[in-house]
Structure 1
Amino acid sequence: MERSHLSRDEMLRAIGMLEAGMRQIDVANAIGTSQSVISRLFARYRETGAISERHPGRHRITTRNQDRFLQMTARRIPTVTAPELQRQLQQAHGIALSSRTVINRLHEANLRSRRPLRVQPLRRGNRGARLIWAQEHVLWNNFQWASVLFTDESRFGIHPDSRRVRIWRQPGNENRLQHVQEVHSFRGGTIMVWGGISFGGRTDLVLIENFLNAVSYRNQILQPIVLPYAAAVGENFILMHDNARCHVAATVSEFLNESGIDVLPWPAQSPDLNPIEQAWDMLQRGVLRGGNNFQNREQLFAVLQESWRLIPQQDLNNLILSMQRRCRAVVNSRGGHTNY
């Protein structure tokens, strides 16, 4: 059966044979199609220089200048909506078009609607401090980072309201009991825990009763947890904690100096540099796997301890080994926000 549609390779082969001087009927027999197909192919090639047909499609209703107006406005005002762009274009150029067309023009410039990255406010002076810190530590090797114990505190809710929960359901069944997530208005309270991670190990989680001050930080965390951990790591041990008041109080500084523990200087407003932030995220996912409603603080803390223990050590090691990349990201952003 003679074929009217040829693959690109067959068309290239046919053009090659025709330019070599073969007759159209011979080329058609060699390809397995009719002479008329070969004749149209050769005529199109001589006219356009292309082997494939060009379909004109719908008429484009916007000009290049109007496309540039939409794209530049979206870059200058990232929060502008498609209907707002539609109105602005009509006011500036007197042309009415649909929101779908506006979105298509933005897609052509690779502009896509995305949720903004949620970050902490970053003061101008802290940007400079972050940049200097990253420049000083970007050349640290993995052995140096492996000696650091990264620590922090984090809060977890007794009734966590997480947007990570997803379900499978059919349209129209959103109100069924198994398809809803009950959310308590006041979350039922929270608990604060302290923990630390390093290459090859982690500390126990510590439940912080009431609130953490310099004395409780020294007596409940540094003495019973950090000191033995430092002895196990050896003389290269470095403690990382942020600039919270209880961490930098004179009582704590004196204790660390007397204990011979080096502290990694830390730039303010830099949670993206601390890999334990991602460890807290892993812990939160583990808690959600154990349920999202707990009867009391003790039950929640028990689940936190078990989930903390079950985080694969390799995942924590990978977080530690990301420090050089984190520093490089801060340098590249000139001390600004990063994706970590």
Structure 2
Amino acid sequence: MASRNLDIVQRSKILVYHEEGFNIRQISEKLGITRNTVRLWIRRYEEEGHLQDRPRKRQQPYMIGEEDTRNMLAIYEAQPLTPTRFFAQKFNCSLRTVRRALEREGKISSKVIMTETNKAARLKFAREFRDYNFLNAIFVDEKSFLSSSPGRRHPLRTENIKYEPFNVNSKNKFARIVANMCGWMSTAGPGELNDLYGMSVNGESYVDLIRDSIIPTVCTVYPELPEIMIFQESSPLHTSNAVKSWFQNQSRVKVNLWPINSPDLNPFNYIWATMLQRWDNNNDRTREMLVTHCHNVWESIRGTDLCAGLIQSMKTRCDAVIAAHGAATTY
């Protein structure tokens, strides 16, 4: 049971186990509910002294009016990269409310355009792995962080002005600082995050990383796992002869590649996006500060159910790809 909407009996069991000295992880395993749910009801009882439902207030969702929407559009025409949080603060509403208003005005999607070959490969992967048990799957991914990155920003481009200079996020390849990171995760949580400073970007060095860092830490978490199944993207690095040859010679380690142009099939992207969102480009002015930031975000999700939730979404991701006949999805 993953929902926080437990009945009073389940809530009472949480409290009983807590008072008997069981920790959150043990209670979660005993009752088959998430740790966040256990933590929520313990905190609710400590703050309010009861486990009853709170009275619900019937309230219409806040909507941004036509005049305010026109004002937003006027600002976006002059400054398309204005962050949505600016308007959320201005109108005292949620980011979701702002985005809904913008979507009603025809916000342009930034999804990758798929070729028929891409679609066929994505459809094949989705059908093959829709019912796969990802419980012990190991997801490996890399990310390059540049100091020229402005963070995650969603421009609203009106009419046909997508490639006007003021509508484009600049990508300065000569960034002040660069940090290349590689990590792995599973339903057990985040594994090891590696700083790839000084590492050559070639198949041989990637094999060294997998053999000497990824696999040993995976074995620490899963010491009795008979087969290690790795999922990673179909990048030139991962499909190089050196990497393919190494995996082919492993009896315990296997690899699966998700298709190119498929960020919606890669649950790791959410974690990288979180790092990017929380990155203060104005203050993190050294490479060491950027690497520390990445590790801090990485450690902040340890002990949570985030990785498990992302990996458990693979079935619905595959369903979405199948429903779209291989085209881009909303993930």
Residue number in structure 2 paired with 1:253: 244
After superposition, the Cα gap between the structure-2 partners of 1:136 and 1:112, relative to the gap in structure 1 and judged at 3 Å, is: same
Instruction: Tell me the residue number matched to 2:146.
Output: 157
Alpha-carbon separation, structure 1, partners of 2:282 and 2:106:
28
Is 1:323 matched with 2:311? no
Assess, with a 3 A threshold, how the Cα gap between structure 1 residues 284 and 236 changes in structure 2: closer, same or farther: same
The answer to whether the 8 A contact 2:129-2:318 is kept is: yes
Instruction: Give the secondary structure class of the aligned counterpart of 1:120.
Output: coil
Q: What amino acid is aligned across from residue 300 of structure 1 in structure 2? A: L
Within-5 A mapping of 1:59-208: 112-140=104-132, 144-158=133-147, 160-162=149-151, 187-208=175-196
- Tell me the alpha carbon deviations over residues 212-232 of structure 1, each in whole angstroms, 9 at most, x when there is no partner: 211111113432222441464
Amino acid at match of 1:320: I
What is the Cα deviation at residue 300 of structure 1? Answer: 1.0
Relative to structure 1, is the Cα distance of residues 185 and 217 closer, same or farther in structure 2, using a 3 angstrom cutoff? closer
SS of residue in 2 equivalent to 1:131: helix
C-alpha contact 1:147 1:236 (8 A) present in aligned 2: no
CA contact (8 A) 1:149 1:240 kept: yes
Runs of at least 4 residues off by over 6 Å: none
1:279 match: 271
Secondary structure, counterpart of 2:237 in structure 1: helix
Backbone CA RMSD of aligned residues: 2.8
1:240 and 2:231 equivalent?
yes
Inter-partner Cα distance in structure 2 for 1:189 and 1:285: 17
Determine the structure 1 residue equivalent to 2:301: 311
Distance 1:216 1:185 in 2: 23
After superposition, what is the alpha-carbon deviation per residue over 1:101-147, rounded to whole angstroms, capped at 9, x for unaligned? xxxxxxxxxx931322212232211101111211122122xxx2122
Are positions 1:335 and 2:326 aligned together?
yes
Whether the 8 Å contact between 1:206 and 1:221 is mirrored in structure 2 is no
Structure 2 CA distance, aligned partners of 1:157 and 1:308?
18
Deviation at 1:200, TM superposition (A): 0.9
Distance of 1:124 and 1:307 partners within structure 2: 37
1:310 Cα deviation from its structure 2 partner: 0.5
The one-character-per-residue Cα deviations of 1:65-111 (angstroms, maximum 9, x if unpaired) are: xxxxxxxxxxxxxxxx9xxxxxxxxxxxxxxxxxxxxxxxxxxxxx9
Is contact 2:152-2:276 (8 Å) kept?
A: no
Residue 163 of structure 1 and its aligned partner are, at CA, apart by 5.3
Q: Which has the higher helix share?
A: 1
Render the CA deviation track for 1:184-214: whole Å, top value 9, x for unaligned.
9965232211111110122222122354211
Quick one: distance in 2 between partners of 1:159 and 1:265?
A: 30
SS in structure 2 of the partner of residue 264 of structure 1 = strand
TM-score, normalised on structure 1?
0.56
Distance (Å, rounded) in 1 between the aligned partners of 2:278 and 2:142: 17
Stretches of structure 1 that go unaligned for 5 or more consecutive residues are 1-80, 82-110, 166-183
Change (3 A) 1:164 1:246: closer
Partner of 1:78: none
Larger Rg: 1
Number of the residue aligned with 1:299: 289
State the shift of 1:316 in Å.
Answer: 1.5
